[in-house]
Amino acid sequence: MFAGKTVLLIIGGGIAAYKSLDLIRRLKERGAAVRVVMTAAAQHFVTPLAAGALAHGRVFTELFDREAEQDIGHIRLSREADLLIVAPATADLMAKMAHGLADDLASAVLLASNRPILVAPAMNPLMWANPATSRNVGQLRADGIHFVGPNEGAMAERGEAGAGRMAEPLEIVAAAQALLAPSVPGPLAGRHVLVTSGPTHEPIDPVRYIANRSSGKQGHAIAAAAAKAGARVTLVSGPVNLPDPVGVTVHHVETARQMQAAVDGALPADAAIFAAAVADWRVASEAGEKMKKDGGALPALALTENPDILAGVAQRTEGRPRLVVGFAAETQNVVAYATAKRARKGCDWIVANDVSAQSGIEGGVMGGDRNAVHLISAEGVEPWPVASKTQVAERLVARIAAFLGSETSS
């Protein structure tokens, strides 16, 4: 899959640098020629000797290398590669990229490149969540830099966990493959697909909220499958512990009202798939301070309805997507309730799934990796077999592509 391709791997200075050695091996296994640049900090974690032995070539470490810079080596390194991968990408290295700094070989190569760049961030969760890092990431995305990860998990620091783990080597390889894939138009090329995913969190007070068990795995898989099919994809995601799909524009939101605003801002679209499990209610009046126990008296929470995002888009008289797909997570009478929901909301299709403990899916649908759904449309009810959420997404996207293709041809 990488035959004839050259990948320039830039290894940043973090404990995750040890994974970069396996990444080199995985890329080589798939036919890539791998050249390696290491920052000074990276050499505290892995050695140029180890990286060079796996890459079968010299490792570049110095900007002012007398031999390499005789022919402007940092320019040559950037231009001779088909793809640049930064793994691990530290907060410091991403800050340099975002601000155009070039005070070492790695940053100079990145600044001089006109090739696709794939970044795999790795850092402490507080560093990843820091506003400065968020601004830098936003700038890099706006500049066309591609991201894979970071993932959620335990950190090297004792007792710390959260978003900040570098994506696994095979995840990075898959993202690199997607960027280097031949530019054959997919069945959704030229289409704009809008997807919602995950739960919403409706605050009760500054520390409590109303939510549900949605993991976002199905919605994110649909967004990834649509992008793979060539669509321009906008994903509006509630709070999830998942990396953003490669090649997808993502808007992160917390509440139903924020999701509604992001959806309205993303329209028009050719197809809209509402896989998010939006909270039906929110508290009528959010407390400004943490609610305290008061002699054992229970607080009275008055609830109000959240906006119905699916119905609002499905029932539009102007700017309605040609295809509107809703999801129905039910625990009983799955097909009957989902069929009624389709009629009530005014959407074209409903994807119904049984999220009860009796679904027969090990680990359950919500939070699990498998799903069994029924596709409900004006033509009737179509049961699909149990499959991975990725397979369900690919099948749904194929049906969407066929629908939009038939609409165009007719």
- DSSP-derived 3-state class of residue 327: strand
Read off the DSSP letter of residue 280.
S
The upper half-sphere exposure of residue 370, i.e. CA atoms within 13 Å in the direction of its Cβ, equals 11
- 280 is annotated as contributing to ligand binding: yes
Dihedral of alpha carbons 329, 332, 338, 343, sign: negative
- 82 is annotated as contributing to ligand binding: no
C-alpha distances in Å from residue 186, one per residue of 244, 249, 336, 389: 21, 18, 35, 21
Whole-angstrom distance, CA of residue 209 vs CA of residue 288: 13
The residues that bridge with 371 in the sheet, in sequence order, are 387
Q: What is the largest CA-CA distance in the chain?
A: 78
Whole-angstrom distance, CA of residue 409 vs CA of residue 218: 30
Whole-angstrom distance, CA of residue 87 vs CA of residue 11: 5
- 376 is annotated as contributing to ligand binding: no
- 307 is annotated as contributing to ligand binding: yes
- 228 is annotated as contributing to ligand binding: no
Whole-angstrom distance, CA of residue 282 vs CA of residue 305: 6
- 217 is annotated as contributing to ligand binding: no
Q: By the 8 A CB rule, do 259 and 216 touch?
A: no
Rg (C-alpha) for the chain, rounded Å, is 24
**Please, what's the b/e burial string for 313-343 (b: 16 or more CB within 10 A of its CB; e: otherwise)?**
bbeeeeebbbbbbbbbbbeeebbebbbebbe
- 290 is annotated as contributing to ligand binding: yes
What are the catalytic residues? 212
C-alpha distances in Å from residue 38, one per residue of 30, 93, 94, 184, 284: 22, 12, 15, 34, 54
Instruction: Work out the angle at residue 316's Cα, subtended by the Cα atoms of residues 312 and 318, and round it to the nearest 5 degrees.
Output: 145
Structure tokens that stand for 407 in this block: 């609409």
Summarize the annotated binding site as residue ranges.
Answer: 280, 290, 307-310, 327, 341, 345
Summarize the annotated binding site for CTP as residue ranges.
Answer: 280, 290, 307-310, 327, 341, 345
